[in-house]
Amino acid sequence: MRKLGIGMLLLMLVLLTGWWLTRPPSTDLIFYGGPVLTVNQQDQVAEALAVKEGVIVAVGDVASVMAHRTADTQVIDLQGRALLPGFVGAHEHPTLTAVFAGAHDLSGFTHQSNAQVWSALRQAIAATPPGEWVYAGGLDAILVPDLQVPMREALDTLAPDNPVVLISQTLHSAWANSMAFREAGVTADTPDPGTGSYYERDADGGFTGFIAETRAMAPFVEGLRAPLGLAGRYGDTLDGYLSQGFTSVASLGYNLPPWLARLVALRDFQPRIRQFFYLVDSELQYLPDTPDHDDPYFRVLGVKLWHDGSPYTGSMLTSMPYLDSELGKTLGIEPGSHGAGMIAQQELVERLCHYSREGWQVAIHSQGDESNRQVSRAILEALPAGAGQRQVRLEHSVLLPPDLLPALAERGVSPSFHINHILYYGDRLADSIIGRHVAQQVLPVRRAFELQMHPSLHADSPMFPTEGFSLMQTAITRQTSSGQVLNAAQAITVQQALRAMTINAAWQLGIDQQAGSLEVGKWADLQIVDQSPYAVPAKRLSALKVEEVYLAGALQYRRE
């Protein structure tokens, strides 16, 4: 931020002042001519909805809603399309998404084979002037099974005149060429950062090009974090969420400074989306003195902790040993290992007590069954039964043993499920990482609904694309990309899936009285979708198209 300079700061102050002084009233709106999915207690479908000054003032039959029409009201005929609450993104990383949007895309979402990946890399290098950095991201040995890992010498041959760094889809590792090591200032004398983060060396002590974990990667990705480019891409990232129907998004760590995130989210001096922040340890200087729940567009809600890692790096903490497989070797998973817990039990209890006393929420990354048992023990020790609601969120919850849930539900704990573990990586989880038997125990979404824990679904961008209807589809069908069904007993209904993406996520963020359903008095955060999700077969949900998105009644996105 120091690089921004005083001129930029002054400009931002002027912009902010402008925002406060010039907020124009929004247009009054009436929608009719298509199903209005209210997502109220009874999941009712209404005929029409009226908005005044950014707030919903009527929902019901056409005649009663039209009674609110005045000379200034804009009346919108849905022409059979559906009106839904805007999605609420329970767990995303807009800053990381913006950082990596500055890199060329080599992901398995766009490239199906090793040949395609390397051809895209060659094109990226050819398009970059000599001496400039080539950043590429998304390398994925799971979605691209024949992927040849790019070691230093191969990259030197491909790009003798450019520093090149390739980042894995998990963001836990990278590969770089010799020029990148020189430009990053990493030499034979540079010590490894330690605790699993290092520059891999061969028998002679030379760099292989493989870089493990974020601390060692940091000097290689500095260019992607240059403030001005990043601020622009942050706005684009928020527009990407809007284009998928999202009107609120929670950022679970690795954030821009909150003041900057709030500023770059303005369009024509108006907030374009609602942002909710959880801060990681390195960001705690931005934690305000006390929680402020008054700002409708930007709130810091609490902190984000990690108790374990990822099944795709062998760092998820599980009681069952990781399999011995070819893919496991490529991913660096030790056969028979179990992962590791990252926070000592007593420290976890103390931090939970401290933050809940201060009124902050705690979101805990916890994937494996053993991790969830340890976290659960800490929660039961820290919070009394009948404790305040939503003080603790459990993040990802891949192997969340259902026997833990009743006691957690009593303490108002709420899980957010990383359902894309099934769609994108489910086949490999079952055959190469945790085994078929364990894969049939993943993601107990239905049980969390039965216990009224307000479960949500999330994409964790940039890990997976933020597509709400695709998340819903997977939570209903439980199908992997090959059509295999994982833990069918935990499938939910389309009504529940829509609740997970709207009112439940709003509950987790503490805005369920203002957002997440279409009811009188709530913010007019809306999306128009080409068809009602209640009316299409589950396996076609991901093909639904978001056509328009409104924030507090103001149009933020229209499909071209």
- Interface with Zn ion includes 460 (CB under 5 A)? yes
What residues does 92 pair with on adjacent strands? 251
Distance CA 258, CA 87 (A): 22
- Shortest Cβ distance from residue 397 to Zn ion (Å)? 12
Min dist CB 367 to Zn ion, Å, is 11
47 near Zn ion, rule: CB under 5 A? no
Write phi, then psi, for 47 (nearest 5 degrees): -100, -25
C-alpha–C-alpha distance, residues 250 and 121, integer Å: 32
DSSP 95-156: HHHHHHTTSEE--TTT--SHHHHHHHHHHHHHTS-TTS-EEEEEE-TTTSTTPPP--HHHHH
- Of 64-72, 177-185, 377-385, 460-468, the window that binds Zn ion (rule: CB under 5 A) is 460-468
Comparison of 26 and 170: residue with beta carbon closer to Zn ion: 170
Rounded CA separation 74/52 (Å): 11
Piece of the chain touching Zn ion by CB under 5 A; list 277-285, 315-323, 419-427, 455-463: 455-463
Nearer to Zn ion, 65 or 463 (CB): 463
Q: Which stretch binds Zn ion (CB under 5 A): 279-287, 431-439, 456-464, 521-529?
A: 456-464
Pairing of strands 198-201, 361-366: unpaired
The H-or-E segment that residue 18 falls in is: helix 5-21
**Residue with smaller CB distance to Zn ion, 89 or 245:** 89
Shortest gap between Cβ of 252 and Zn ion (angstroms)? Answer: 5
The owner of tokens 């707030």 is 55
Tell me which residues in 376-415 interact with Zn ion (CB under 5 A): none
In the complex, least distance from residue 93 CB atom to Zn ion, rounded to whole angstroms: 6
CB of 315 to Zn ion, least distance (A): 14
Min dist. Cβ of residue 96 to Zn ion (A): 8
Helix, strand or coil, per DSSP, at residue 443: coil
Closest CB 254 distance from Zn ion, rounded Å: 8
3-class SS at 470?
helix
Gap between the Cα atoms of 390 and 355, Å rounded: 12
Region near Zn ion per CB under 5 A, out of 130-138, 226-234, 457-465, 478-486: 457-465
Instruction: Write the Ramachandran bin of 443: left for phi over 0, alpha for psi from -120 to 50, otherwise beta.
Output: left
Cβ proximity to Zn ion: between 168 and 527 the closer is 168
Binding span for Zn ion by CB under 5 A among 101-109, 132-140, 258-266, 459-467: 459-467
User: What DSSP element (H or E) covers 227?
Assistant: helix 227-243
Q: Which residue is nearest to Zn ion (CB)?
A: 460
Closest CA to 188 of 171, 206, 173, 167: 206
Q: How many CB atoms lie within 10 A of CB 97?
A: 25
Query: Which one, of 396, 402, 404, 394, lies nearest residue 315 by Cα?
Result: 396
Indicate the pairing of strand 45-52 with strand 29-37.
antiparallel
CB of 15 to Zn ion, least distance (A): 30
Report the alpha-carbon distance of residue 124 to residue 137 in Å, rounded: 12
3 state SS of 219: helix
In the complex, minimum distance from the CB of residue 146 to Zn ion, in angstroms, rounded to a whole number: 28
| Residue count, binding to Zn ion (CB under 5 A) | 2
Q: Which helix (H) or strand (E) holds 266?
A: strand 266-267
> Binding string to Zn ion for residues 243 to 262, with x set by CB under 5 A, is what?
---------x----------
Residues 6 or more apart in contact with residue 348 via CB below 8 angstroms = 305, 307, 374, 375, 378, 382
Nearer to Zn ion, 252 or 261 (CB): 252
**CB of residue 91 vs Zn ion: minimum separation in angstroms?**
6
> Which CB atom, from 252 or from 509, has the smaller least distance to Zn ion?
252
Sequence-separated (6 or more) residues with CB below 8 Å from residue 56: 49, 50, 518, 519, 520, 521, 522, 523, 524
Give the x-and-dash track for 521-550 against Zn ion (CB under 5 A).
------------------------------
Q: Which is nearer to Zn ion, 26 or 255 (CB)?
A: 255
Contact 60, 15 (CB under 8 A): no
For Zn ion, the closer of residues 47 and 213 by Cβ is: 213
If the CB atoms of residues 164 and 252 are measured against Zn ion, the closer one turns out to be 252
The residue among 128 and 251 lying less far from Zn ion, judged by its C-beta, is 251
Q: In whole angstroms, how close is the CB of 394 to Zn ion at the nearest point?
A: 12
Q: Look up residue 157 and give its amino acid.
A: T
Is residue 32 within 8 Å of residue 66, measured between CB atoms?
A: yes
- Under the binding rule (CB under 5 A), the answer on residue 183 touching Zn ion is no
Residue 531 CB burial class (10 angstroms; 0-12, 13-18, ≥19): middle
Closer to Zn ion by CB, 91 or 447: give it: 91
* Closer to Zn ion by Cβ: residue 305 or 439: 305
Comparison of 509 and 541: residue with beta carbon closer to Zn ion: 509
Q: How far is the CB of 460 from Zn ion (least distance, A)?
A: 4
Kindly state the smallest distance separating residue 214's Cβ from Zn ion, in Å: 13
Q: Quote the least distance from Cβ 312 to Zn ion, whole Å.
A: 13
278 vs 449, beta carbon nearer Zn ion: 278
User: Contact positions toward Zn ion, by CB under 5 A?
Assistant: 252, 460
